[in-house]
Structure 1
């Protein structure tokens, strides 16, 4: 698999980062053991880094999958605001993943300079952890153009994980040209960039080659995180990236698998999911949550905050 350097001072990694949200309890598509098996299969094929987050609640799953792969790199993220919260998030990851040193740790879903300012204590704790050698590289994930621009100017930042696809789906401010301009700005500063949601949460899977080629052609974007929950998806994506022919049976099995956000009929209309959705894809209609499928990118964050377990990616 093609190896890339993540920014000017980042490590060499595979072009594909395994996006573990797809095998996490947040999406509930596979069991913990099944997900670990898929992840291990991806590692056997040459994928050598994994994207996760505290919110995904799958550290134990990853720890089980990476046994025998001491060199695999792991990126995690947290919503921590205070220094104490960040210390706790870092220690939770170190303990659960059985790692003395974490490769990457990011502030999760930063939207702007104002958001980053509100997380100043947490960021300063990340800087201290980096100085102590507890974390090697630090950064942010973001669905916002302003988040990329603010992150690029954040002292000590090494990597940005932005939403990026050829239709600009999921960008919560601005548009695709704005996002490309912000990414170019960050790349000129030497920051490592790996894209998320290149298939637009499943909306762009009708032309996966176009989606992959678009991201690959953007200067400054070195890699991409791909969510995969089956061996077939691993095989399909790696063949796609290698430029090799994809067998018809494999193409049909993977591309015809449509997913959606399911909202159970026992929804109580509490509205928690609306606040948790970064895309504004949910609303209440007659005190029941409904989803705008065009806006939903199938992240599953809404399901985490539902007290009645009404929401699930299926």
Structure 2
């Protein structure tokens, strides 16, 4: 299935060979909804944006192989779970599906024509369903749900225009995140109300560290199309107060947008994501209980394909995108990602 990504990447690059006049006020002036930090604003101009994302994950995967819920908690009859990559886990429970919603409030301000400042407030809402294993006091095969929501890590930074021509932009993103998301909430749901324990890694609202987020974006505008390439990173600085740091992440995006009218465009985007495993260890989350506690089960590679549309409606800019995960290779055992939906409204003034 990687050829879908290759088509998007090749199309993004080869179409750039056509010369074009600059025209940055039409429907494709911004990248697809799943891309951020791809445009600047004029000196003194503000932009406010609300963005919503919903990502859905279902079924466990070991590497590239899908496994059933019953296999994820090991065979019945006093089983201490399963062993994956030399680690015994899921004796207490295994996740079966997860929904991650994200509400984002984004503000941008043009300090100069070539420097735009930005900040983003994140509000995640995380819901995960589970099946209990043999070692759980509430009984094998029973199910439970955990939920967590609140403020996530806040992002801020500056976008710098390094190069501009009539049809081309090259932008540097000097961003970072602040550890404003909570990482120490507990729940009694896993044990049926008997014992309270910290929520596992995927259910926490932030990283607990200051993260560096440098990146760059290259865009080109044609007469009836535009294209872009973006590399964005997310690197934690040190470990948090619980003794670990989250994954280093690299995202590579390439997209092509086609104008249907001056106020409506459609887009095709290919996305590659690479994540490392966690570094360090939270001693309050034992590996044997559930796989979402295991630091070495947090990395992997994901290949996504996004289909989007962008619209100018009076003074507002509307954008939406459906993102399908077409291939993934996960470290250890993890929930596989199925799809995500992103939608945004923004207005500049």
TM-score between the two structures when normalised by the length of structure 2: 0.26
Return the structure number with greater relative CO, CA threshold 8 A, min gap 6: 2
The structure carrying a bigger helix percent of its residues is 1
* Structure of larger gyration radius: 2
The structure that is strand-richer by fraction is: 2
TM-score by length of 1: 0.29
